[in-house]
């Protein structure tokens, strides 16, 4: 059984701790690290009997019994800590937004070239069953040549200002997932981005020069046109939809609902709202992601998601920010 250490026990670190402890039989969380454990973290540490607690991740890396490290810290620290983990000969799982710095990601790629440790980027939506069904239809040619891809991605709850302060901004924290999904669905690269954004939910976010709502239009290398719709708050639940229109037809996936039961009466049809929490919506994707990483370690194969995927999504995020600030379409070649 693999022993796992988690660096950063905020929202994402806590979710990984829960899912690994309850659903992954081939691994066990042995150690956790954070500068200060909040009450939710302390509750989970007690629940799962985690005895090894650290405030310095470098001390945790000295434990020879740890096989895998999950890096779930602020975006500014992800690549630095990941590099230290790789140099300590630990297999490393890093949350999706590796860095806002191209140079940092390239440094990590260089370190990995000289290491036998496995490394995966947590682009968990690639492991979602619904999205993979859409991809299969596209890749197998069931809808012909893709012409238009539409992604709707809206969070149910507006994040805390503490989270937003360290998030890197909407394009780097939220839209980056959708950039990767477009590349994954289309097997083509993004070449141009036009982004519009606004503060429509909470004016306090302006303090961090951020936005809470955005629409983006993209052009891919194969000619496909794409649209992304992001919002930090959807009052009805976690809104995650994809549509791909092609020369022979269309494939879509709708939201996962809290219940599949529908009530039909003379007044109309009533159904449940979409699932509300990320852990509800993507629970199985997170589990499959960890199981995939462990399989890669066991079989000595490369994981599905890596540094280059984060790098390409980062280029798109940089182009989106430049487009938003300059109010014009921006080619990715301008930010590379």
Same domain, 72 and 169: no
Domain count, the chain: 2
Residue 222 pLDDT > 80: yes
User: What CATH number is attached to the domain comprising 10?
Assistant: 3.40.50.720
Question: What single-letter DSSP state applies at residue 247?
Answer: S
Mean pLDDT for 108-120 is 97
Integer angstrom CA distances of residue 147 from 38, 134, 250: 47, 14, 10
At 16 the pLDDT is 96
How is residue 311 written in tokens?
Answer: 């790098």
Q: What would the pLDDT profile of 60-111 be if each residue is shown by its tens digit? A: 999 999 999 999 998 889 999 999 999 999 999 998 788 999 999 999 999 9
Same domain, 109 and 134: no
235 by Cβ neighbours in 10 Å (0-12 / 13-18 / 19+) ranks as exposed
- Higher-confidence residue: 173 or 196? 196
Q: What would the pLDDT profile of 129-164 be if each residue is shown by its tens digit? A: 999 999 999 999 999 999 999 999 999 989 888 888
Dihedral over Cα of 105, 106, 108, 113: its sign: positive
| b/e 149-172 (16+ beta carbons within 10 angstroms → b) | bebbbbbbebbeeeebeebbbbbb
At 122 the pLDDT is 94
Q: What would the pLDDT profile of 265-289 be if each residue is shown by its tens digit? A: 888 888 888 887 777 889 999 999 9
Q: Confidence class of residue 15 from pLDDT cuts 50, 70 and 90?
A: very high
Mean pLDDT for 40-63 is 97
Q: Domain range holding 181?
A: 126-281+313-334
User: What CATH number is attached to the domain comprising 147?
Assistant: 3.30.360.10
Residue 104, H or E segment: helix 102-113
User: 292 in a domain, yes or no?
Assistant: no
> 112, 190 in Cβ contact below 8 A?
no
Q: Is the pTM of this model over 0.85?
A: yes
Gap between the Cα atoms of 297 and 277, Å rounded: 30
Q: Which of 157, 153, 6, 148 is nearest to 70 (CA)?
A: 6
Residue 218 pLDDT > 90: yes
Q: Which of 117, 142, 171 is the last residue of a domain?
A: 117
Gap between the Cα atoms of 59 and 199, Å rounded: 42
Residue 315 pLDDT > 90: yes
Dihedral over Cα of 187, 94, 24, 277: its sign: negative
Average pLDDT, the chain: 95
How is residue 261 written in tokens?
Answer: 């039961």
At 93 the pLDDT is 98
Give SS3 for 177: helix
């Amino acid at each position: 059984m693999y022993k796992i250490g988690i660096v950063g026990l905020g929202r994402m670190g806590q979710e990984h701790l829960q899912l690994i402890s309850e659903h992954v039989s081939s691994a066990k969380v042995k150690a956790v690290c954070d500068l200060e454990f909040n009450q939710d973290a302390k509750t989970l540490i007690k629940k799962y009997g985690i005895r090894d607690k650290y405030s310095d991740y470098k001390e945790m890396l000295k434990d020879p019994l740890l096989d895998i490290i999950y890096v779930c810290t602020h975006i500014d620290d992800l690549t630095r800590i990941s590099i230290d983990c790789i140099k300590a000969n630990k297999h490393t799982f890093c949350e999706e937004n590796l860095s806002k710095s191209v140079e940092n990601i390239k440094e990590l790629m260089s370190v990995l070239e000289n290491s036998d440790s496995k490394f995966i980027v947590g682009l968990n939506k690639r492991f979602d069953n619904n999205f993979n069904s859409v991809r299969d239809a596209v890749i197998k040619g069931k809808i012909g040549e893709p012409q238009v891809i539409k992604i709707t991605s809206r969070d149910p709850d507006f994040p805390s200002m503490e989270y937003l302060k360290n998030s890197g901004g909407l394009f780097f924290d939220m839209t980056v997932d959708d950039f990767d999904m477009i590349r994954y669905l289309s097997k083509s690269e993004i070449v141009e981005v036009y982004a519009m954004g606004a503060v429509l939910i909470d004016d306090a976010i302006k303090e961090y020069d951020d936005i809470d709502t955005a629409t983006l239009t993209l052009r891919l290398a194969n000619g496909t046109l794409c649209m992304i719709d992001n919002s930090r708050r959807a009052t009805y639940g976690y809104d995650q939809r994809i549509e791909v229109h092609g020369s022979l037809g269309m494939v879509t996936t709708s939201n996962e609902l809290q219940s599949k039961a529908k009530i039909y009466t003379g007044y109309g049809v009533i159904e449940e709202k979409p699932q509300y929490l990320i852990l509800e919506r993507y629970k199985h994707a997170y589990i499959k992601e960890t199981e995939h990483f462990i399989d890669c370690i066991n079989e000595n194969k490369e994981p599905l998601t890596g540094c280059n995927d984060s790098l390409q999504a980062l280029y798109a995020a940089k182009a989106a920010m430049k487009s938003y600030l300059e109010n014009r379409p921006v080619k990715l070649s301008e930010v590379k």
